[in-house]
Structure 1
Amino acid sequence: MEFVQKYGIYGLGFFAQSLFGARLIVQLLLSEKKGKVVSPTIFWQLSLMASFLFLIYGIIRNDLVIIIGQTLSYLIYIRNLQLKNDWVKFPLIIRVIIFALPVLALGWIVMGSENKLQDIFSNSDLSHPIIAIGAVGQLMLNLRFIYQWYYSEKHSDSILPLGFWVISSVASVMILAYASYRLDPVLLVAQGMGIFVYLRNIVIHFKARAKTVN
């Protein structure tokens, strides 16, 4: 039973990361096709689904780094859908549910078990150098969306700018170090694949800029 439970949890994590991976693959393919970095609607739709599932994974794993990260980025995904004028296309009841999901999940941490908060904080000793690196890396992965959000608001459009991919690349290396310490196969696979997409988008960005200059 413990074996099934353990790998069921990993299955949830891998499924969430597969959605994160799918959003990057679709975004990269569309960017390659257009010859410039694009921000498609499906990127943000998949982000929302994956973020909620990975938040649940982080709660089950008592991983404060993941919990903080997914909570911060969730609303930014919604805002990007608003900027693309796609949020209003969701039925009202679906929009209410989407807003409520992370609140319910976090409420479960506080109300669901007396020891849950204690387990999360005891499992997340930020004084440990590697855990601190993981926390900073995860914070950077979410700050990149704050940066992306600011950039998009400034241009009144959903955009994935160069700085977004640079921050992603640096943060990915930091989280890979953290995942190696935690022996977390989900994070190892996700960031190992993600860093390739991040670097490739940087290349596409500079190619598109070179064409503009010429």
Structure 2
Amino acid sequence: MPATLIYAIGFIAQGFFSARILVQWIMSERSHKVVSPNLYWICSLIGSILLFTYGWLRNDFSIILGQFISYYIYIWNLNIKGVWIKVPKVIRFCIFILPVLAFIFTIKNASAFANSFLQNKDIPLWLVIFGSLGQIIFTMRFVYQWYYSQRRQESILPVGFWIISLIGSGIIVSYGIIRLDPILILGQSVGFIAYIRNIIISRKSNKGVINPSSGHSVESL
């Protein structure tokens, strides 16, 4: 496959990830509360499918590894919202098995990825760890979102999700500044603003929720 087409798949994937943030932000502003729209999770899943395809075609184990956890959380959210069941079974099976197939086909590059990750002469080890920490935190926000929503059996984007997003994004932006990487900086810019707005909207909407046992407003991460 031509390299230009492979890169186009990667850029389109990032486009879906950016679109999900803008859609969620706009809908939350209109509702005056933080919402978890279907389109947010649909864009997330489509973007992730494209990114898995991109990583597969690029034979890039790190891209596939980084998407593995959040991919199934996207599916869980679509399932709890009743969207996943409307997808034909054959398509659901193909979507569900894609990360496993991609992982199997790129596992041979796992050792090479580990060596390049830990022995990159162009980047000091402390900076590699710092940047990776941001990516780990950024991924764990979806683990937190799943845990929070699972307890309530409802797809929710709680204020803690946005706080974790902001911390992870801040680390990634700092890493990008140190590395003089405009792609990382620009890629996080829109999200950075949206995370702050969602935190503000969450706090404002939570002030109106009264705990019946205490009479005080409820604010929960």
Q: Is residue 2:166 matched to residue 1:166?
A: no
Q: CA RMSD in A?
A: 2.5
CA distance in 2, matches of 1:160, 1:169: 14
TM-score relative to the length of structure 2? 0.82
Partner of 2:113: 120
Residue 99 to residue 150, structure 1, CA distance change in 2 (3 Å): same
| Unaligned residue ranges in structure 1 (runs of 5+) | none
Q: Is residue 2:95 matched to residue 1:98?
A: yes
Query: Larger relative contact order (C-alpha < 8 A, sep ≥ 6)?
Result: 1
TM-score relative to the length of structure 1? 0.84
- 1:121 Cα deviation after fit: 2.0
- 1:71 Cα deviation after fit: 0.7
In structure 1, which of residues 69, 76, 81 is the aligned counterpart of residue 78 of structure 2? 81
Amino acid at match of 1:124: F
Q: Which structure: greater helix fraction?
A: 1
Aligned pairs, how many? 205
Alignment of 1:122-201 (within 5 A): 122-125=115-118, 128-180=125-177, 185-201=182-198
- 1:196 Cα deviation after fit: 1.0
> Secondary structure of 1:123's match?
helix
Query: 1:170-214 CA distances to partner (integer Å, 9 max, x unpaired)?
Result: 001112233456665543322122111111101111121234469
Residue 173 to residue 31, structure 1, CA distance change in 2 (3 Å): same
| Unaligned residue ranges in structure 2 (runs of 5+) | 211-216
CA distance in 2, matches of 1:37, 1:80: 16
CA distance in 1, matches of 2:88, 2:181: 37
Residue 207 to residue 57, structure 1, CA distance change in 2 (3 Å): same
Identity %: 41
Contact kept, 8 Å, 1:41 with 1:84, in 2: the verdict is yes
Amino acid at match of 1:90: V
CA distance in 2, matches of 1:178, 1:100: 33
- 1:96 Cα deviation after fit: 0.3
Partner of 2:214: none
> Secondary structure of 2:155's match?
coil
CA distance in 1, matches of 2:9, 2:55: 10
Residue 125 to residue 62, structure 1, CA distance change in 2 (3 Å): farther
